[in-house]
Amino acid sequence: MADKNKNTGTRPDLATLAGLVVALGGIIGGLLLEGGHIAQILQGTAAMIVFGGTLGAVMVTTPFNILKGAAKRMLAVFFEKAQSPEDAIEEIIGYATKARKNGIVSLETEADTAADPFLRKALSLAVDGTDLQELRKMMELDINMQEQRGEAEAKVFEAAGGYAPTIGIIGAVLGLIQVMQKLADIEEVGRGIGVAFVATVYGVGSANIFFLPAGNKIRARIAREIQMKELMLEGVIGIVEGLNPKLIRIKLGAYLERTTGEGKTSPGGERAARPVEAQVP
């Protein structure tokens, strides 16, 4: 049986970190090549207007419980679960082998100690003798609810990506209002116009470098987690049905390509359909 600790824990998402470095490096590098200075885009007032205004708009739009979930979910942008489908399959095959030899009741201990909460719940229902169809319905309800919560949390970041550029324009207009009061000093006017447009840079930049990509990354993470849960559910269903562990391995092998693809979705953004063998006869 696979070491349960392999399916737990997190690790830094190098793609996210490298992407931010490349994006910011390209923008700042281009500024420097044009003879600019980093100090020109370091404006605390502009940052306050853009990020404060964006946060406020998102708070008005989003229910508080979803907003809290999105704040926690932001960690998924920078960290990914060290959850291997291969290890999950090996763990399930170990359970299947034991159940085939000693009966499904012999999994009572595993049902209480499995590392993944979803797998633990599915095994507990199976050991308790829950009807197969009811077991599937209950666990699929859990999957659907998690998918809906994850989608709502991803949309929080997409909403922020929509508001930030507009708030940036508001910041630029506020800066121009201040500039118009100093028309007598042409040097001050030129400097003020440059400062005013920094807010637009913050708004457009944060939307396209972080907020919108973060929403897509969260959606991909959710899709991968859903696929892992589908794998676990089909494995438990196979155990309840008394299938040979070799057949369960073949059945779950169909999920390997899907889960290792970091949660690919269909062009419409919806989760891909489940394999044919996963459907209830």
3-state class of 80 per DSSP?
strand
* Lookup result for tokens 């909403």: 159
Asked whether residue 269 is domain-assigned, the answer is no
Q: What is the length of the chain?
A: 281
Looking at residue 111, its pLDDT comes to 84
Asked whether residue 68 is domain-assigned, the answer is yes
pLDDT in single tens digits along all 281 residues of the chain: 444 444 456 888 899 999 999 999 999 999 899 888 888 888 888 899 999 999 999 999 999 999 999 999 888 899 888 778 888 999 999 999 999 899 888 898 888 888 889 999 999 999 999 899 999 999 999 999 999 999 999 999 999 999 999 999 999 998 888 888 777 667 667 667 777 889 999 999 999 999 999 999 999 999 999 999 999 999 999 999 989 999 999 989 888 765 554 444 443 344 444 443 433 33
State how far the Cα of 248 lies from the Cα of 122, in Å rounded to an integer.
16
* Lookup result for tokens 């392999």: 6
Asked whether residue 273 is domain-assigned, the answer is no
Asked whether residue 260 is domain-assigned, the answer is yes
Number of compact structural domains in the chain: 1
* Lookup result for tokens 């693809």: 261
Of 259, 242, 243, nearest in space to 251 by CA: 243
* CB-based contact 249:89 (threshold 8 Å): yes
Looking at residue 84, its pLDDT comes to 82
Looking at residue 258, its pLDDT comes to 59
State how far the Cα of 266 lies from the Cα of 250, in Å rounded to an integer.
24
Asked whether residue 279 is domain-assigned, the answer is no
Asked whether residue 168 is domain-assigned, the answer is yes
State how far the Cα of 26 lies from the Cα of 36, in Å rounded to an integer.
14
| Residue 171 belongs to domain spanning | 4-35+47-264
Of 222, 228, 214, 211, nearest in space to 271 by CA: 222
Dump pLDDT digits (tens) for 81-114: 877 888 899 999 999 999 989 988 889 888 888 8
Asked whether residue 14 is domain-assigned, the answer is yes
Q: How buried is residue 135: exposed, middle or buried, by Cβ count under 10 Å (0-12/13-18/19+)?
A: buried
Looking at residue 164, its pLDDT comes to 96
What six digits make up the tokens of 137?
A: 């319905």
Q: Residue 151 CB: number of other CB atoms within 10 A? A: 17
Looking at residue 177, its pLDDT comes to 84
Asked whether residue 173 is domain-assigned, the answer is yes
